[in-house]
Structure 1
Amino acid sequence: MKATDTSSNEAAPAAALAEVSWQPSALGHAMSALTAACGLASGAAPSPGAPPDGDPTAWIEAYAGCMGVEAEAVQSSFADLPRAIASLGPSLVRLDHGYLAVVSAGRRGLTVLTPALTRARIPLEVVRRALSAHLEDRPASHVDKWLAAAQIPPRRAARARAELLAQLVADRPIGGMWLLRPDPGSSFRRLLSMRGALRRGALFLAAAAAQIALGVLAWWLIGAGALDGAVQPGWLLAWVLLSLSAILVQLFASWTGGLLTIDVAALLKQRLLCGALRLDPAAIRARGSGELLAMVSESEAVETAGLGGALGAVVALVQLASAALVLSAGAGGGLHVALLAGWTASVALLARRFARRRAAWTRERFAITSGFVENVVGHRTRVAQEAPHLHHVEEDAVLERYHAASRAMDRVGDLLASLPARGWLALGLLGLVPAVLAGVSVGPLVVATGGILQAQAAFATLATSLGALLSAAVSWRSIARLFAAAEAREPPGIPQAVLGRPAASDVVLEARGVSFRYGGERAEPVLRDCGLVLAKGDRLLLEGRSGGGKSTLAAVLSGLHAPSSGLVLLRGLDRRTLGGAAWRSRVASAPQFHDNHVLSGTLAFNLLMGRAWPASPEDRREAELVCRKLGLGPLLDRMPSGLDQVVGETGWQLSHGERSRLFLARALLQRADAVILDESFGALDPLTARDCVGAVLERAPALVVIAHP
């Protein structure tokens, strides 16, 4: 589809933008058409209509989620706006005339998708002016007065005016931009294709093959002349040109391979992070912190060693294929080709043996890492409960097994590093013996020798690359679960339900015949045939013995777990219809203390995580009001930066009771339809607990409180 250039319309930019803009009522159609045009989503969700008045960020993010796409609001300062606009695409840009559906961006301008589903090109300056006009218009009159008073010549006035305006509003934020990107858990091949990695991979492979072909051709020319006894100047010049071309192609292959490595590594990191965030919380708790730390280290091994080793192995295999062609034309002929194939198979068997030794070594290293972290975490308990003479028995046994696995792996690793190239050189020279005894001429012997040396260089490269590649393959087994977990995308919901207004029914939450079990169908149910009805204004106290399933029920009601059987409804809609994210936004939960966390960031960020960020002044005022009602006023007064004070592990340390009240405030500030509090008042003294209960009763539309009798 050819893009229409609208740069001729710069004299009337407003009219040009109006022609290519989508009206707010058609924003859903614009997003569907844009994602389809850019290949971001395989299908479009039904349009839910126009976004609400005001900030459409939540609407855009929710509808993008329904289509299997991520939307991220982008904000830029006035000074950085040109750079931000040049990096847009695919994206949405909100202007006074409507919305631009940006397909791509570049130096020549933005390529946008029009309501007629054609493409048009808009100059960057036109878009920049439209986004920043509201900032420039107010000070513009003052600047014009200053320029007139200073009697600036007309030929310099325009530039001076632009510079002054830029200085006055340089730090002012400008929003109204949303980047669209595919979900990190979608098809990895599709992500590679959209990133251009598959095209770069093909270029790298072609460049590697071309480099090897140029090298072989160059040495064939010089060798043919040398064997004839006279090297013509023309042949020598051709050899020089071919050698220089091979060097240039090699540089291009290295550059392309570097870009390919960066692209694949970036996508792999996004995929693994997405998988870590989508892992089931129960599965995370079942793994120790040491095992999780080991998984992180293995992901680094895959990125650093695996990608480089894969590229090196590809080059080595191409070089081996070319060596086989050269050997087939040499004195050894079919014998040399058979020897090369057999030696390659032997190297493959040696590599397989190394992979097994590496896997055994990795298991022992995992055991050391996991045991060390767990022992550090539980050091005090271990010192108090374990006899002193037993403190190091387990560690000594683990270290002995690790040492044995290391020696076994190193022995095979030394063979893999040295034997392929040296062994092939000896075997290839032995393959020349029949030809020499048969009195073959010098020419075929030279060709065969060149093929042997070329294969030796390939085996040397392959040995180095195989070591790194096999190590990464073993590491991959540890993180494959994270990679696969990214595909476990929770139900996005139906757009009309996610973005529509909740039903007018007084019943907020309803559970019918709910059962839940950890660990599959064969496990004993934690919940069995539970029922609950929570209406607007209800205050429900749930008591029971420890381990009775109270927290599990809270997790099911808040959307953290899907019930094994039964039905849970929120305003008459189930989780699949409403979507996981929309469900959790409408049911606020404050889990038990050990399942709740203070993140390293400002106090305002920790309080307003359930709302849009950056927080608006109104949200900040409401957060401070809630904090003071919960008795956190003295804390705010002590903090030098108030709500902007950094808290968490590296910031201001909060007491147990202050953290509990922060969790309460976080749940109340989410503006949810229902609030579930799991033992949230246990760390508070009676007077503080009474004040907090009063604040919760005042603000929670519907409330479930879990406590011990």
Structure 2
Amino acid sequence: MDDLIWPLSNLHVAASFLASDIRGTSACPEFASATKNANRSDVNLDDWFEQVANCSGVDIQSNTSNYPDVIKMLKCCGPCILMMPDNGFIVLLKTKRQNAVILNYKQQFSLLPLTKLKDILTKEHVLPLRQSLSEQLLPLGLPTKQHEKVLESLLIEKLSNTPVIQAWIFHPAAYDNIFAQFKQAKFLKGLMLSIGAALLFQIMLIISWYVIGLGVFETNDHDSVFSLWALLLFSAIPFYYLSLKIKNRLSLDFGAELRKQLLQGILKLKPNDVRRHSSGHFMGQVMDIDLLEAQSFGMSFIAITALTQVFLAGIILAVAGVSWSHSILLTTLLILIGMLSLKYYREIKRWLAFDLQLNCKLSEQLVGHRTRFIQEMPEQRHLVEDEDLSNYTKLCEQLDKWGAVLTTFAGRRVWLFLSLLLLMPELTSDNVDVASLSVCIGAILLAAISLEQFANSVKYLLEARCAWVNLRPMYEGAAETCANSTQSQASFTHADSKGAEYPTIQARELHFSFNKRKILDGCDFSINAKDKMLLEGNSGAGKSTLGNVIAGAYMPQQGELSLNGTSFKAVYNELWRKKIVMAPQFHDNYLFSQTLAFNLLMGRCWPPSEADLIDAQTVCNELGLGKLINKMPAGLHQMVGEGGWNLSHGEQSRVFIARALLQRADLIILDESFSSLDPKTFNIALPCVLKRSNALLIIAHP
């Protein structure tokens, strides 16, 4: 058992192994020094794993599980590193049925039952409670099996809201090439297997055509021939079933993988990129996700299968000895499909671009409906909409026209008519090879069905291609930041540490421009630990821009910005934002339709521990939100936001302040967070902010 446990001093070896297995790169060797000869309490493991992720090019997600969900989590979290109750770790690669595949300390694979692994990981929380509950159940005199069953039910009830294990899950980075993602998920292997099964199905159908031709025209033993023909047809059914089953499973896995990667990319979009687009733009992209998921994989499979069947039919027609003209005709139709597909692609690009514009306009008009109703002239209210709908109708007509042309000229009717016309000399000849003619007719029918399937699938694939073009910036939202970032070998020094050598923030010659307008021009300043600073200025003077640059939302275009002596360029962006937390202006902040506890602790820890909830309640009381929470039936667990408990602007502002304070950052930036507070509430909230912040920067109007 001891060889399954990795000590903290060799944790970098385990991380390197998992990173190389996923991406072919190992973690930086410099991280060994952070864990060598150290106790777990001395190392911030979340920060350490984030630095490993940045250096090795993989994503590492920290996750916890409550007791009832431990087995479920273990089945789906591999590859990951699990934290032991003591000072060790377990490396889980994957699960096979009810067993876990463990990488032991000697870098060999071992199997361990999931139930035993669960007991090892949860013993710190479970053993004391199990012993206490077991003693309480003894007077009942329950049979052994029933005693264990009741005991397990009580443990699930008692520990249902208590995180009992922590794991760091390794998976490909969101900015990796999409084909690399699918290769890691082993999609190509399943796709080739499915296509192979479909081809075997079609080959057996062609052979059955050959057999039936022999039986009808050249053999008198019809019973044997028809028996062989029926046997071939029944033998083809398992191949068709296997192909369909694999395709459906891969389609579901593809959709799940696609949405997971898109979500990771969305969460890493730069704030400035998000601000440039309207809500309608993102609403249109969400609809594009459905389009891409529904059509891309399934239609790709149909297109590949159909095209393979067309080539198979062409080869059969060429070698059947009847005529080469059918192969030439088939090639000509494929070229025609390509040319018409190019024209259809151009039309659908125009249509989707205009559709996205309409989504943007629609969302803006919905938000501003009351303003338009009061301010706009009634007779002019719908002129623009009518013009847009007219243009949209014209684009739809063009799209439908070329779609019909594509399916008509590449459909089975044109192919069947021309191919049978070319076959007429053979049909009327007295010296025809009946078996070859039967195979040729079967190949013509196969090509007819495959051509129509291919043309229809190409239409949908072109739509999916256009949807992917719109979604690609979201998918690659982390690419520019993460792929080019370098890793700092320095460890952060918290502002509370004694004898700090560097200021919390040091800026030299900072320059930042927006749309060719200079906002920051050679700024020099420093913020030390425990400094409380007020930044005042007129509207548009660049106060919020400076705050965003310090917080890492904007990248300074020139100059040097460092945190505790570590340059911004050498620090992973997420680590920077953990150390510097900003509460943006009211219109840039958001109250989620979730519980109040989630809105308070989303930047700190979720799901929260009991200590986190107590800390959140204390901060809220100090900010003057105690009476509000007491009014809520569910307290901190009351739903707020749209459809929930309605909070005033002042109450929301204090929730945003509490959210920033609860993250315990080295520097907190409050951008006009007090502007919606009355003097009495301001005098209550300010002492709490001053007491609970390390370094503080308040942005306000004069």
TM-score (norm 2): 0.91
Query: CA separation in 2, counterparts of 1:199 and 1:404?
Result: 44
Question: Do the aligned partners of 1:330 and 1:446 also contact (CA within 8 Å) in 2?
Answer: no
Instruction: Work out the percentage of aligned pairs sharing the same amino acid.
Output: 31
For residue 170 of structure 1, the aligned residue among 136, 156, 164 is 156
Task: Please state how far the C-alpha of 1:74 moved relative to its aligned partner.
Answer: 4.3
User: SS where residue 684 of structure 1 aligns?
Assistant: coil
Match of 1:6 in 2: none
Task: Please state how far the C-alpha of 1:693 moved relative to its aligned partner.
Answer: 2.1
Compared CA separation, residues 573 and 132, structure 1 to 2 (3 A): closer
Query: CA separation in 1, counterparts of 2:121 and 2:204?
Result: 53
Match of 1:656 in 2: 649
Compared CA separation, residues 571 and 451, structure 1 to 2 (3 A): same
Query: CA separation in 1, counterparts of 2:235 and 2:204?
Result: 7
Q: Does 1:473 align with 2:459?
A: no
Task: Please state how far the C-alpha of 1:501 moved relative to its aligned partner.
Answer: 5.6
Task: Please state how far the C-alpha of 1:398 moved relative to its aligned partner.
Answer: 0.5
Question: Do the aligned partners of 2:18 and 2:170 also contact (CA within 8 Å) in 1?
Answer: no
Match of 2:422 in 1: 431
For residue 42 of structure 1, the aligned residue among 25, 47, 71 is 25
User: SS where residue 259 of structure 1 aligns?
Assistant: helix
Task: Please state how far the C-alpha of 1:340 moved relative to its aligned partner.
Answer: 0.9
For residue 577 of structure 2, the aligned residue among 572, 584, 603 is 584
Question: Could you say what the CA RMSD is over the residues aligned between the two structures, in angstroms?
Answer: 2.5
Q: Aligned AA for 2:422?
A: G
Question: Do the aligned partners of 2:98 and 2:113 also contact (CA within 8 Å) in 1?
Answer: yes
Match of 2:74 in 1: 85
Q: Does 1:52 align with 2:48?
A: no
Q: Aligned AA for 1:422?
A: R
Compared CA separation, residues 248 and 646, structure 1 to 2 (3 A): same
Q: Aligned AA for 2:17?
A: A
Query: In the TM superposition, what whole-angstrom CA distance separates every residue of 1:648-696 from its partner, at most 9, and x where no partner exists?
Result: 1121111011111111111122111111111111111122122222222
Question: Do the aligned partners of 2:487 and 2:571 also contact (CA within 8 Å) in 1?
Answer: yes
Q: Does 1:639 align with 2:632?
A: yes
Query: CA separation in 2, counterparts of 1:187 and 1:407?
Result: 36
For residue 380 of structure 1, the aligned residue among 354, 357, 370 is 370
Question: Do the aligned partners of 1:329 and 1:447 also contact (CA within 8 Å) in 2?
Answer: no
Task: Please state how far the C-alpha of 1:42 moved relative to its aligned partner.
Answer: 1.7
Query: CA separation in 1, counterparts of 2:117 and 2:607?
Result: 24
Match of 1:550 in 2: 543
Query: CA separation in 2, counterparts of 1:323 and 1:288?
Result: 50
User: SS where residue 599 of structure 2 aligns?
Assistant: helix
Compared CA separation, residues 222 and 585, structure 1 to 2 (3 A): same
Task: Please state how far the C-alpha of 1:224 moved relative to its aligned partner.
Answer: 2.0
Task: Please state how far the C-alpha of 1:324 moved relative to its aligned partner.
Answer: 0.4
Query: CA separation in 2, counterparts of 1:557 and 1:132?
Result: 41
Match of 1:507 in 2: 503
Q: Aligned AA for 2:594?
A: G
Query: CA separation in 1, counterparts of 2:250 and 2:693?
Result: 52
Task: Please state how far the C-alpha of 1:561 moved relative to its aligned partner.
Answer: 0.9
Match of 1:462 in 2: 454
Match of 1:4 in 2: none
Unaligned runs of 5+ in 1: 1-16
For residue 445 of structure 1, the aligned residue among 428, 437, 442 is 437
User: SS where residue 536 of structure 1 aligns?
Assistant: coil
Q: Aligned AA for 1:433?
A: M
Matches within 5 A, 1:240-389: 240-330=230-320, 332-389=322-379
Matches within 5 A, 1:618-629: 618-629=611-622
Query: In the TM superposition, what whole-angstrom CA distance separates every residue of 1:401-452 from its partner, at most 9, and x where no partner exists?
Result: 1111111111222233333211111111121234456655152433332222
Match of 2:57 in 1: 68
Compared CA separation, residues 88 and 390, structure 1 to 2 (3 A): closer
For these two proteins, the number of residue pairs brought into alignment is: 684
Task: Please state how far the C-alpha of 1:478 moved relative to its aligned partner.
Answer: 1.8
Query: CA separation in 2, counterparts of 1:146 and 1:393?
Result: 77
Q: Aligned AA for 1:448?
A: C
Compared CA separation, residues 96 and 390, structure 1 to 2 (3 A): closer
Question: Do the aligned partners of 1:361 and 1:406 also contact (CA within 8 Å) in 2?
Answer: yes
For residue 405 of structure 1, the aligned residue among 388, 395, 401 is 395
Question: Do the aligned partners of 1:32 and 1:44 also contact (CA within 8 Å) in 2?
Answer: yes
Q: Aligned AA for 1:528?
A: D
Question: Do the aligned partners of 1:86 and 1:105 also contact (CA within 8 Å) in 2?
Answer: yes
Match of 1:677 in 2: 670
Task: Please state how far the C-alpha of 1:304 moved relative to its aligned partner.
Answer: 0.7
Compared CA separation, residues 273 and 34, structure 1 to 2 (3 A): closer
Task: Please state how far the C-alpha of 1:197 moved relative to its aligned partner.
Answer: 0.7
Match of 1:422 in 2: 413
Question: Do the aligned partners of 1:27 and 1:51 also contact (CA within 8 Å) in 2?
Answer: no
Query: In the TM superposition, what whole-angstrom CA distance separates every residue of 1:299-319 from its partner, at most 9, and x where no partner exists?
Result: 211111222211111111011
Task: Please state how far the C-alpha of 1:335 moved relative to its aligned partner.
Answer: 1.1
Matches within 5 A, 1:10-159: 17-36=1-20, 38-40=21-23, 42-45=25-28, 46-47=30-31, 48-49=34-35, 50=38, 52-53=40-41, 58-59=46-47, 61-66=49-54, 67-96=56-85, 98-107=88-97, 109-134=99-124, 135-140=126-131, 143=134, 150=141, 157=144, 159=145
Task: Please state how far the C-alpha of 1:532 moved relative to its aligned partner.
Answer: 1.4
Match of 1:482 in 2: 474
User: SS where residue 504 of structure 2 aligns?
Assistant: strand
Match of 1:180 in 2: 170
Match of 2:589 in 1: 596
Query: CA separation in 2, counterparts of 1:56 and 1:564?
Result: 31
Compared CA separation, residues 689 and 640, structure 1 to 2 (3 A): same
Compared CA separation, residues 63 and 52, structure 1 to 2 (3 A): farther
User: SS where residue 633 of structure 2 aligns?
Assistant: coil
Query: CA separation in 2, counterparts of 1:77 and 1:529?
Result: 51
Match of 1:526 in 2: 519
Query: CA separation in 2, counterparts of 1:442 and 1:19?
Result: 72
Question: Do the aligned partners of 1:272 and 1:486 also contact (CA within 8 Å) in 2?
Answer: no
Q: Does 1:229 align with 2:204?
A: no
Question: Do the aligned partners of 1:143 and 1:164 also contact (CA within 8 Å) in 2?
Answer: no
Query: CA separation in 1, counterparts of 2:476 and 2:375?
Result: 40
Q: Aligned AA for 1:44?
A: A
Question: Do the aligned partners of 2:623 and 2:654 also contact (CA within 8 Å) in 1?
Answer: yes
Query: In the TM superposition, what whole-angstrom CA distance separates every residue of 1:591-622 from its partner, at most 9, and x where no partner exists?
Result: 11111111121112211222122222222222
Q: Aligned AA for 1:169?
A: L
Match of 1:7 in 2: none
User: SS where residue 225 of structure 1 aligns?
Assistant: helix
Q: 378-387 vs 280-289, which deviates more? A: 378-387
User: SS where residue 597 of structure 1 aligns?
Assistant: coil
Compared CA separation, residues 473 and 141, structure 1 to 2 (3 A): closer
Query: CA separation in 2, counterparts of 1:411 and 1:278?
Result: 40
Unaligned runs of 5+ in 2: none
Query: In the TM superposition, what whole-angstrom CA distance separates every residue of 1:299-347 from its partner, at most 9, and x where no partner exists?
Result: 2111112222111111110110111022113464211111111112112
Query: In the TM superposition, what whole-angstrom CA distance separates every residue of 1:468-523 from its partner, at most 9, and x where no partner exists?
Result: 1122122222222223324234376646535666671361111111111235xxx2
Matches within 5 A, 1:687-706: 687-706=680-699
Compared CA separation, residues 509 and 399, structure 1 to 2 (3 A): same
Match of 1:9 in 2: none
Query: CA separation in 2, counterparts of 1:641 and 1:673?
Result: 32
Compared CA separation, residues 221 and 437, structure 1 to 2 (3 A): closer
Q: Aligned AA for 2:150?
A: L
